[in-house]
């Protein structure tokens, strides 16, 4: 989601008159491509120069975000073969791809459609839908050993608003993890500088043996995102 491509440039219609052979004048419409916004130009340039984008293409990964999960796991070692995992905000499937490669069973959810991935089940649904938690756990076959969340709200262009909205999704993911993660399990979520709301962070610390913040190298330096890693779900 954070690695989605920006929308294609919008087209606009302009009117002009042409003279027909009969001498009549007729109004016609001509399509003009709108120039790329500066933010879109910057995004394209950044993608072209990003070594993680090139690496993802070379290694057949669905998104550069896969390397964020790989680097977090190299630091905290929370991915273990045979785990049952719920992946929140799963599109385009980069994190699920890593988890499946590590021998885990994955059920993912996103508002966007996700291409099929052997070893994973994806549902196109709003995680905030009250029916979503039960459906995820039913598809998984029981409580998750690990909940992953790389959810990000659709951007509005206003940085503070976007951070607040994505922070709310992280907090919803944390509430889900506190309620459903199996004993000994873990929870990893995207947050922003400052992390989760203090009260919720305190609840995570009560529910998990360790709660730490990290910014993996694959997370762009200019991004304010950080990740919260909670491990050792208490019984």
* Residues carrying an active site annotation: 190
Q: Over the Cα atoms of the chain, what is R_g?
A: 22
Give phi and psi for 25, each to the nearest 5.
Answer: -105, 135
Tokens representing residue 232 in the block: 């050792």
Give phi and psi for 79, each to the nearest 5.
Answer: -90, 120
Cα–Cα distance, 73 to 168 (Å, whole number) = 24
Q: How would you label 82-113 residue by residue, b for 16+ Cβ within 10 Å and e otherwise?
A: ebbbbbbbbbbbbbbbbbbebebbbbbbbeee
190 forms beta bridges with 227
Tokens representing residue 39 in the block: 């933010």
Contact 212, 229 (CB under 8 A): yes
Give phi and psi for 32, each to the nearest 5.
Answer: -120, 140
Cα–Cα distance, 147 to 19 (Å, whole number) = 65
- Strand, helix or coil at 233? strand
Going 3 to 60 to 216 to 74, the CA torsion angle's sign is positive
């Amino acid at each position: 989601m954070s690695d989605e491509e920006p929308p294609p440039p919008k087209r606009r219609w302009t009117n002009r008159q042409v003279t027909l052979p009969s001498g009549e004048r007729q109004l016609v419409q001509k399509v003009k491509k709108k120039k790329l916004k500066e933010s879109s130009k910057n995004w394209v340039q950044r993608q072209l120069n990003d070594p993680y984008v090139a690496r993802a293409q070379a290694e057949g990964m669905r998104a550069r975000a896969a390397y964020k999960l790989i680097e977090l796991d190299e630091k905290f070692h929370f991915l273990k073969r045979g785990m049952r995992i719920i992946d929140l905000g799963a599109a385009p499937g980069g994190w699920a791809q890593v988890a499946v490669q590590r021998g885990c069973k994955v059920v993912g959810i996103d508002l966007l459609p996700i291409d099929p991935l052997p070893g994973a089940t994806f549902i196109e649904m709003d995680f905030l839908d009250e029916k979503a938690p039960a459906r995820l756990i039913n598809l998984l076959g029981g409580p998750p050993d690990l909940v992953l969340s790389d959810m990000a709200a659709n951007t509005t262009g206003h940085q503070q608003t976007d951070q607040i909205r994505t922070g709310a999704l992280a907090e919803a993911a944390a509430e889900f993890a506190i309620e459903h993660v199996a004993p000994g399990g873990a929870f990893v979520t995207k947050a922003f500088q400052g992390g989760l709301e203090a009260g919720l962070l305190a609840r995570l610390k009560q529910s998990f043996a360790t709660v730490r913040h990290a910014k993996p190298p694959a997370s762009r330096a200019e991004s304010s995102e950080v990740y919260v890693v909670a491990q050792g779900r208490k019984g």
